[in-house]
Amino acid sequence: MYGAIIGDIIGSVFEFDAPGWTKNFPLFVDGFYTRGSHFTDDTVMTVAVMEALMKAGRDADAETIRKECIRSMQKWGQRYPDAGYGGRFIYWVHAKDPKPYGSYGNGSAMRVSAAGWLYDTIERTREVARATAEVSHNHPEGIKGAECTAAVMFLARTGASKEEIKDYVVKEFGYDVSRSVDELRPLHDHVESCQDSLPKALASFFEGTSYEDTVRNAVSLGGDTDTLAAIAGAMADAMYGIPDDILAEGRARLPEDLLKVVEKFATI
């Protein structure tokens, strides 16, 4: 359940290419002159979607899911206003009547992981993922990024092989998954879109051999490292789970109110 959150925490200090594009970096950093490894907007919105899907109930229709998502994302976004949201999303968080704004930002994919855990079929998983995206990121690419992330998680946790998952991703979503992490790394770009982030997160996951290795792949790509590690981390958690020591380090960096929601989500 913590896959996206701990990926976000690990990636948080390496944004803007800080680790020098290597997989060899300390997983958790304690701040001295600068902030140590910390949760950001990716964690706050992941928790918000968890709470929204719990409130809506397993069989809720799309309209109810959208309503609960708006309520919960605004509540948590306002409670943690400085977590690092995108420029337009911060207006959305505070809007009286928030409307989708055609975003294809990677925010729809980094917050969706609750949908990847909760449902019995891939169709239902994708329907819910779509609803969580539509409230703000209703551009087709924004929706696709959320659906793909949740679908990969569903397949991973129900026993599909990496090859089967890859085939599904290409057939259903059309992402280019031909490039390896080594081939993607020299791009050195920082683009916070689903079109840019999904192929990178997918490559990190397909090549990764464990939760830790997947997150190291994602961070080594540089750029938007917290979000890349959140998306890839969610996929890897669904396939491998997270080792206890990494889980404990990550949980220790979360405040009580966010922890409480994830702990409750883990019991349903």
Whole-number minimum distance, CB 224 to Mg ion, in Å?
Answer: 8
Q: Which of 14, 19, 42, 114 binds Mg ion (CB under 5 A)?
A: 42
For the bound state, the minimum distance from the C-beta of residue 226 to Mg ion, rounded and expressed in Å, comes to: 4
Q: Annotate 148-185 with b (16+ C-beta within 10 A) or e (fewer).
A: bbbbbbbbbeeebeeeebbebbeeebebebeeebeebb
Region near Mg ion per CB under 5 A, out of 42-50, 114-122, 210-218, 250-258:
42-50
Residue whose token pair is 């789970």:
241
> 151 to each of 44, 143, 211, 251, how far by Cα in Å?
22, 12, 18, 26
3-state secondary structure (DSSP) of residue 105: strand
Subset of 76-105 contacting Mg ion (CB under 5 A) = 84
Q: Which of residues 142-171 bind Mg ion (CB under 5 A)?
A: none
| Cβ nearer to Mg ion, comparing 7 with 84 | 84
- What single-letter DSSP state applies at residue 222? -
**Can you tell me the distance from the alpha carbon of 106 to that of 8, in angstroms, rounded to the nearest whole number?**
13
The distance of closest approach from Cβ of residue 83 to Mg ion in the complex, given in angstroms and rounded to an integer, is 7
Give CA–CA dist 155/78, Å, rounded.
Answer: 34
Binding mask 220-259 for Mg ion (x = CB under 5 A): ------x---------------------------------
Residue nearest to Mg ion (CB): 40
Compute the Cα dihedral for 192, 194, 196, 198 and give only its sign. positive
Minimum distance of Mg ion from residue 23's CB (angstroms): 20
Q: How far is the CB of 161 from Mg ion (least distance, A)?
A: 31
Of 118 and 258, nearer to Mg ion (C-beta) is 258
Q: Which of 40, 46, 136, 217 binds Mg ion (CB under 5 A)?
A: 40
Q: What is the DSSP string of 137-152?
A: --SHHHHHHHHHHHHH
Beta carbon nearer to Mg ion, 55 or 88? 88
φ, ψ of residue 42 to 5 degrees: the values are: -60, -40
Number of residues that bind Mg ion (CB under 5 A): 5
Q: Does 41 bind Mg ion (CB under 5 A)?
A: yes
Which of 156, 163, 160 has its CA nearest to residue 177? 163
Q: Which of residues 178-207 bind Mg ion (CB under 5 A)?
A: none
Query: Per the structure block, which two tokens stand in for 31?
Result: 């701040």
Of 83 and 177, which CB lies nearer to Mg ion in the complex structure? 83
Distance in Å, CB of 267 to Mg ion, minimum: 27
* Site residues (vs Mg ion, CB under 5 A): 40-42, 84, 226
